[in-house]
């Protein structure tokens, strides 16, 4: 009877008298059940990878979670190239990457992100302070994406390398990015190749290069910078004191651009690698470029291959190196340009003074005839 009475008291919720009578456990006991309030107060365990929130966001956006991301959330390098993420899939990645503390290198190349996806990654990089290397090439970011990237570069102080190659960036994009380069001193390697940057872009980038204090490597290959744009860009290069390597191949510098680069080489005392191959530079342009080599003390590698500079232009470049006792030149690339026997003999005569100099050439007339 006593047991039934206790059971009745317990089920009615009046457990106070029950506890006082026989010392049995009440609701304040450590072995009692959690109340609804206690359950609500419990916080989920912190997840530095962002796995759970990623799955929830994917469900919300109705996109399939990227299995490779789930498997490599704790890795230092994450490669998701060619996955067809699209704008929504990229947006889903933004949420967990904001708080992820493991990934240092992020490759999202060729995912059809477009402007909205690019903006999502840019927004994430404003918050994430661990990622140092990002590749979002081949994603059709366009000017909208470029504007978002530029905004991010003004705030991010962690990113060291950024590749935005082949994204349809126009001269408007160059204006956004130029302003970002003025304020960003952390980024060291920027790849803007295979875009639609034209003459106006050269003028905008001149301002960015003149003021930038962080970039050491810049790739502008396969764009449309020519004429006055090339001259302005060369002017910015002349006043930059941090850049070590620049690739300007496959543009349209021509004679005007070569003349401006010759002057830049006279003034610049830090640049070590210059690639101006495939730029329609004529022999007269090579002659003016050579005047810069006559006094430059830092250039170690110069690539002027596949330009119509002919044997006269090649010889003028080599003679300028010969006349400069302080020349640091190690590689002169003349690939695809035919030279004659006089050039060969000139190079041989310099080997005693410049034993480490390597000259890459297309061929000689004699070998061509054979």
Residue 15 has pLDDT above 80, yes or no: no
Lowest average pLDDT, out of 3-17, 115-129, 253-267, goes to 3-17
Over residues 309-316, mean pLDDT: 97
How does DSSP classify residue 242?
A: S
Residue 33 has pLDDT above 50, yes or no: no
Dig out the tokens for 289 from the structure: 């470029």
Residue 319's pLDDT is 98
Tokens 């980038």 map to which residue? 205
Can you say whether the dihedral through the CA atoms of 334, 337, 338, 339 is positive or negative? negative
Residue 363's pLDDT is 59
- Residue 78: strand pairing partners: 106
Q: What is the pLDDT of residues 234-259, one digit of tens each?
A: 999 999 999 999 999 999 999 999 99
Residue 180's pLDDT is 97
Question: From CA 102, how far away is CA 178, in angstroms rounded?
Answer: 31
CATH 3.40.80.10 fits 253-370, yes or no: no
Q: What is the pLDDT of residues 113-131, one digit of tens each?
A: 999 999 999 999 999 999 9
Residue 370 has pLDDT above 80, yes or no: no
Q: Which of 244, 251, 255, 240 is nearest to 218 (CA)?
A: 244
Q: Which of 347, 343, 334 is nearest to 365 (CA)?
A: 343
Q: Are 242 and 270 in contact (CB under 8 A)?
A: yes
Dig out the tokens for 57 from the structure: 């966001």
- The DSSP-derived string for 32-59 is SPPPHHHHHHPPPPP-TT-HHHHHHHHH
Question: From CA 258, how far away is CA 278, in angstroms rounded?
Answer: 12
Residue 364 has pLDDT above 80, yes or no: no
Question: From CA 354, how far away is CA 135, in angstroms rounded?
Answer: 39
Residue 362's pLDDT is 75
Q: What angle do CA 283, 222, 225 make, to 5 degrees?
A: 65
Is residue 347 helix, strand or coil? helix
Is residue 24 helix, strand or coil? coil
Q: Which of 135, 225, 236, 117 is nearest to 171 (CA)?
A: 225
Average pLDDT, the chain: 88
Lowest average pLDDT, out of 51-60, 109-118, 215-224, 358-367, goes to 358-367
336: enclosing H helix or E strand: strand 331-339
Q: pLDDT band for position 30 (50/70/90)?
A: very low
User: CB-based contacts of 348: which residues, under 8 Å, 6+ apart?
Assistant: none
Lowest average pLDDT, out of 231-235, 296-300, 332-336, 364-368, goes to 364-368
Residue 50's pLDDT is 82
User: CB-based contacts of 66: which residues, under 8 Å, 6+ apart?
Assistant: 80, 83, 85, 89, 93
Q: Which of 221, 167, 233 is nearest to 193 (CA)?
A: 221
Over residues 293-316, mean pLDDT: 97
Residue 335's pLDDT is 96
Residue 281 CB-density burial (10 A; 0-12 exposed, 13-18 middle, 19+ buried): buried
Pick 369 or 128 by higher pLDDT: 128
Q: pLDDT band for position 160 (50/70/90)?
A: very high
Question: From CA 301, how far away is CA 328, in angstroms rounded?
Answer: 9
Percent of the chain at pLDDT > 90 equals 83
Q: pLDDT band for position 369 (50/70/90)?
A: very low
Residue 46's pLDDT is 62
Q: What is the pLDDT of residues 188-200, one digit of tens each?
A: 999 999 999 999 9
Percent of the chain at pLDDT > 70 equals 85
Dig out the tokens for 301 from the structure: 């590698």
Pairing relation of β-strands 331-339 and 77-79? unpaired
282 to 178, 267, 305, 312, 319: CA distances (angstroms):
30, 23, 12, 10, 17
Residue 10's pLDDT is 40
Question: From CA 200, how far away is CA 203, in angstroms rounded?
Answer: 5
What separation, in Å, do the N-terminal and C-terminal C-alpha atoms of the chain show?
Answer: 119
pTM given for the model: 0.85
Residue 42 has pLDDT above 90, yes or no: no
Question: From CA 234, how far away is CA 256, in angstroms rounded?
Answer: 10
């Amino acid at each position: 009877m006593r047991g039934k009475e206790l059971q009745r008291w317990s089920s009615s919720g009046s457990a106070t008298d029950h506890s006082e009578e026989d010392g049995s456990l009440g609701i304040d006991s450590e072995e009692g059940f959690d109340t609804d309030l206690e359950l609500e107060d419990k916080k989920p365990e912190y997840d530095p990878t962002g796995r759970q929130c990623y799955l929830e966001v994917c469900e919300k956006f109705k996109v399939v979670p990227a299995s490779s991301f789930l498997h490599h959330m704790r890795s230092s390098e994450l490669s998701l190239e060619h996955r067809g993420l699209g704008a929504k899939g990229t947006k889903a990645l933004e949420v967990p990457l904001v708080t992820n503390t493991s990934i240092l290198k992020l490759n999202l190349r060729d995912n059809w992100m477009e402007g909205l996806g690019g903006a999502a990654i840019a927004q994430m990089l404003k918050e994430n302070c661990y990622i140092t290397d990002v590749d979002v090439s081949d994603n059709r970011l366009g000017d909208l994406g470029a504007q978002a990237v530029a905004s991010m570069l003004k705030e991010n102080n962690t990113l060291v390398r950024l590749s935005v190659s082949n994204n349809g960036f126009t001269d408007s994009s160059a204006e956004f990015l130029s302003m970002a380069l003025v304020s960003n001193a952390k980024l060291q390697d920027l790849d803007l190749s295979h875009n639609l940057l034209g003459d106006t872009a050269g003028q905008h980038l001149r301002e960015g290069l003149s003021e930038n204090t962080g970039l050491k490597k810049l790739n502008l290959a396969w764009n449309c910078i020519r004429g006055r744009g090339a001259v302005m860009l060369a002017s910015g290069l002349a006043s930059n004191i941090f850049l070590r390597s620049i690739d300007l191949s496959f543009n349209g510098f021509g004679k005007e651009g070569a003349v401006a680069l010759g002057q830049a080489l006279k003034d610049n005392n830090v640049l070590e690698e210059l690639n101006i191959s495939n730029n329609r530079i004529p022999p007269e342009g090579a002659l003016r470029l050579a005047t810069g080599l006559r006094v430059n003390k830092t250039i170690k590698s110069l690539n002027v291959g596949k330009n119509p500079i002919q044997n006269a232009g090649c010889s003028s470049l080599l003679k300028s190196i010969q006349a400069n006792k302080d020349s640091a030149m190690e590689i002169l690339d003349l690939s695809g340009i035919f030279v004659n026997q006089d050039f060969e003999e000139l190079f041989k005569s310099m080997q005693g003074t410049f034993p480490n100099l390597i000259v890459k050439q297309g061929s000689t007339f004699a070998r061509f005839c054979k």
